[in-house]
Every structure is written in C-alpha cells, then in structure tokens.
Amino acid sequence: MSTRVGRKQAARVVREQLALERRRRRTAVTSAVAAVALLVAGIVGYGVYRSQQPVAGFAVPASATDDRAGVRVGDGPVTVEVYLDYLCPACRQFEEQAGATIERLLAERRITMVYHPVAILDRYSTNDYSSRSAAGAGCAADAGRLVQYTSALYADQPAEGGPGHTDDRLVELAATAGLSDHTFGPCLREGRYADWVTHVTDGMSRRGVNGTPTVFVGGRKLANPTAENLAAAVEQA
C-alpha cells in the first residue's frame, strides 16, 4: 500500500515538474516575442525619427538620392539624370523639347528621373533666383510635384540680368503645378532646402559637370540632349 502511495506521489511530483517546465517555456517564448516586438518597434521608430532630422547638418527632401545630391522621381529601370538651373535658357529649351518625352517615359515606368537642381546663375539675377527656385524644387519634390513644378517655372522663366521671380510669384507658379500654398509656401519662404541646394551644386563640381543642362542616361553623359536622343538612349540602356 505504501509503495502504491509512494508511486502516486512520485508521479504527481513529476507531473507538477513537467507542468512547471511548460509554463516556464511559455513564459520564455512570450518574453522573447515581446522583446522582438519592442526591438522592431524601436528600429521603426528610430527610422521615422531619423527621416525627420536634418542630414549632415542640412535638411534634405524625402526623395533625395543616397548621396543627397539629387531627388528621385519614378521607379523605372533606367536612371536619367539632369543637372538644371531654373534661370538657364538652355535648360528651358531642353524642357520645351524633352519635357513631354520625360513625362511619357515616367508614366510608362521606363525611367527613374534624378533631378539635380543647382544654383550657378545667381550672379545673373538681383535676388538669388537660382538658389531660391532650386530650393523650391525640394519643396515640390516633397509633395510629389517636381516634374510639374519644373515645367511651370520654365514656362514663365525670368530674363537673365534682372530680378528673378519673388517668393510670392514662385508660390503662384507652384499653385499652377498643383502645389498648395499651405505646404509649399512656408517651405519656400523659410528656405528649408537652401543648404541642400549648396550641397547639390557642390556635387555638380565634384562630378566634373560644368554646365546646364547636363543629362546622363544609365550613368553615361548624353552628348546632345534632345528628346529624340534621350528616348534612343533609354531604349539602348
């Protein structure tokens, strides 16, 4: 009798130990899952925080390239880059000739455009128009309207040698490109991306680009940037 009782007690002890071990395992798994969740949340939160902070001492548009020397538009397989100054008459001619082709290639998702808005012609205006309009390009990029902003500015380009458009006029032109005064206006007027424009312009020099417009397709400079040559280069890339 005592032997059976002893066996029952031993079996009960074993069952209790097994149950305790299962509870410990469940607790360990739950703790591990919670720790991973906290880690992921922390990483995501830090990423969001970092994306809202100035990079290398200056603010950059959300769609900036990895080197922060341009902004991306589109997601096609062929990268087309253009260095432009909004006061540059030859850039206006390029926009008039190739703007529709660029929009078509973007709509067909055949290219990723990288715009490098630079300020090399401030000396040809009395109010730093190149710098201010290029900074506005960063504001337009944040709203997803950079292509339209570029088209609107070249359609009403001021003459070299005089006053460029005021901030108020730039806001008006931006409105025709679908940009809201409530978001674009403050961004432009506070000069949010002024230092970024300096960085982009410096990057132009570091790359050995010495004029605008300069166009690259798939990393290769386009010798004669016309709409036809651009489309052909994209086709061959």
Strand partners, 115: 71, 82
Tell me the residue range of the domain where 32 lies: 1-53
Entry pTM: 0.77
Residue 60 falls inside a structural domain: no
Q: Which of 19-23, 74-78, 202-206 has the lowest mean pLDDT?
A: 19-23
30 and 76 within one domain? no
Residue 59 falls inside a structural domain: no
Q: What is the DSSP letter of 123?
A: G
Residue of 11 and 102 predicted with greater confidence: 102
Residue of 103 and 31 predicted with greater confidence: 103
Residue 5 falls inside a structural domain: yes
Nearest to 82 by CA among 209, 205, 177, 170: 209
81 and 26 within one domain? no
49 and 110 within one domain? no
Domain count for the chain: 2
Distances (CA, A) of 16 to 11, 19, 22, 128, 221: 9, 5, 10, 81, 76
185 and 79 within one domain? yes
43 and 84 within one domain? no
The CATH number for 154's domain is: 3.40.30.10
185 and 89 within one domain? yes
Instruction: Quote the pLDDT of residue 56.
Output: 58
Residue 64 falls inside a structural domain: no
Would you say 74 and 113 are in contact if contact means Cβ atoms under 8 Å apart? yes
Q: Which of 25-29, 49-53, 92-96 has the lowest mean pLDDT?
A: 49-53
Q: Tens digits of per-residue pLDDT, 193-214?
A: 999 999 999 999 999 999 999 9
Share of the chain above pLDDT 90, in %: 76
Residue 192 falls inside a structural domain: yes
Would you say 96 and 154 are in contact if contact means Cβ atoms under 8 Å apart? yes
Give the confidence band of 87 by pLDDT, cuts at 50, 70, 90: very high
228 and 115 within one domain? yes
152 and 48 within one domain? no
Residue 169 falls inside a structural domain: yes
Instruction: Quote the pLDDT of residue 5.
Output: 44
Q: Tens digits of per-residue pLDDT, 134-187?
A: 999 999 999 999 999 999 999 999 999 999 999 999 999 999 999 999 999 999
108 and 212 within one domain? yes
41 and 128 within one domain? no
Residue 95 falls inside a structural domain: yes
The three-state secondary structure class of 230 is helix
Residue 96 falls inside a structural domain: yes
Tokens 């071990």, residue located: 21
Residue of 21 and 87 predicted with greater confidence: 87
168 and 141 within one domain? yes
Residue of 154 and 45 predicted with greater confidence: 154
228 and 154 within one domain? yes
The three-state secondary structure class of 72 is strand
**Amino acid, res. 83:** Y
